[in-house]
């Protein structure tokens, strides 16, 4: 009798959880400018935001997002995260899917581009210069130092009538009264920056939420194509690619529902080498003698150190 009673409560609890999740799950794609995560002091047009603002607050055209001692993560086009550091200010210039532009007025911002389509026109404005993103990668912007840095990927910087193509490992200093010029990036300085470390951690959490969301879609349905999917367990949106999997610039895997279904016991693990992250393939889960899960080290792809630009679908 006790066993039956316990089993009955388990069924009721499962039904309540399922009902709560169905209510909490948004059914539409969030537009560019959606605030996905808030930590510390963050305000939208002077209105303080909290952790509960995730997924509901939206930075619309000409609105300002300010941080004090805090950080924020904005969703732009599907697969693109814009993360804002301490004491920073961002203005939304254009929130369109085919024309997405934000302006960093002060402080620092980091752009993680895991997916980019040829129809996307993605740009960040800093100190009178416009940086258009050409490839998947990782980009750093600093309005206080008037600098644009390409940790990985490719971008075109336009200032006045001048244009400069920046590749991986290079940066440009802006508004210095001189012609645009590319110079080698100090990667060690970037990697020790608080915003870089915070972005790396956020990328890891996003990847973990991706796998959770992908498996939820497989089991419960709700697939509406590649894009942002709300995960009530993590309380933020994660990105699901349409097919296969993608690696983020930090080396974390983003799985499509079909991939997650075919390889349910696989997960991602970054391999550290040189001055940054190297990408490692998924690995089977392994348990040590005490029954605890332990990562299996796997060889990385190639021998390239530093920042990794994904490698596309797999």
- The pTM assigned to this predicted structure is 0.78
Q: What is the pLDDT of residue 177?
A: 66
Q: What pLDDT score does 276 carry?
A: 34
For residue 26, pLDDT over 90 is answered with no
Residue 197 has pLDDT above 80, yes or no: yes
Q: At residue 11, does pLDDT exceed 60?
A: no
Q: What is the full DSSP assignment across the chain?
A: -HHHHHHHHHHHHHHHHHHHHHHHS--SPPPTTEEEEEEEEEEETTEEE-GGGTTT-B--TT-EEEEEEEEEEEE-STTEEEEE-TT-EEEEEEE-SSSEEEEEEESEEEEEES---TT--EEEEETTEEEEE-SSEEEEEETTTTEEEEEESEEEEEETTEEEEEETTEEEE-SSSS---EEE--HHHHHTSHHHHHHHHHHHHHHHHHHHHHHHHHHH----SSEEEEETTTTEEEEE-SSSEEE-TTS-EEE-HHHHHH-TTEE---EEETTEEE----EE-EE-TTS-EEPPP-PPSSS--S--------
User: Mean pLDDT of all residues in the chain?
Assistant: 80
Q: Which class would CATH give 34-186?
A: mainly beta
Domain borders along the chain are 34-186, 194-294
pLDDT tens-digit map of 143-152: 999 999 999 9
- With a cut of 70, say whether residue 27 has pLDDT above it: no
Residue 163 has pLDDT above 80, yes or no: yes
Q: What is the pLDDT of residue 110?
A: 98
> Would you state the pLDDT for residue 281?
36
pLDDT reported for residue 179: 80
Under the banding of pLDDT at 50, 70 and 90, the label for residue 263 is low
- % the chain with pLDDT above 90: 60
| Confidence bin at 294 (pLDDT 50/70/90) | very low
More confident residue, 257 or 312: 257
């Amino acid at each position: 009798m006790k066993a039956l009673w316990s089993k009955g409560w388990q069924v009721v609890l499962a039904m309540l959880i399922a009902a709560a999740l169905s209510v909490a799950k948004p059914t539409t794609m969030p537009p560019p400018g959606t605030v996905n995560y808030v930590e510390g002091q963050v305000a939208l047009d002077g209105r303080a935001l909290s952790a509960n603002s995730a997924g509901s607050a939206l930075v619309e055209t000409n609105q300002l997002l300010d941080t004090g001692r805090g950080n924020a993560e904005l969703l732009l086009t599907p697969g693109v995260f814009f993360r804002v550091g301490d004491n920073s200010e961002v203005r939304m210039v254009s929130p369109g899917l085919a024309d997405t532009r934000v302006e960093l007025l002060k402080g620092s911002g980091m752009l993680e581009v895991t997916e980019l389509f040829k129809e996307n026109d993605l740009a960040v404005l800093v100190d009178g210069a416009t940086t258009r993103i050409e490839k998947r990668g990782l980009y750093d912007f600093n309005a206080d130092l008037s600098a644009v840095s390409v940790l990985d990927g490719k971008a075109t910087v336009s200032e006045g009538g001048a244009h400069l193509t920046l590749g991986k490992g290079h940066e440009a200093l802006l508004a210095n009264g001189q012609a645009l010029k590319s110079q080698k990036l100090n990667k060690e300085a970037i990697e020790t920056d608080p915003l870089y470390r915070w972005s790396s951690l956020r990328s890891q959490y996003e990847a973990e939420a991706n796998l959770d969301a992908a498996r939820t879609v497989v089991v419960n349905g709700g697939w509406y194509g590649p894009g942002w999917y709300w995960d009530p367990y993590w309380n933020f949106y994660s990105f699901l690619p349409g097919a296969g999997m993608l690696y983020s610039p930090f080396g974390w895997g983003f799985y499509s529902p079909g991939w997650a279904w075919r390889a349910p016991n696989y997960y991602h693990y970054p391999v550290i080498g040189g001055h940054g992250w190297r990408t490692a393939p998924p690995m089977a889960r392994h348990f040590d003698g005490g029954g605890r899960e332990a990562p299996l080290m796997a060889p990385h792809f190639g021998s390239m150190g530093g920042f990794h630009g994904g490698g596309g679908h797999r």
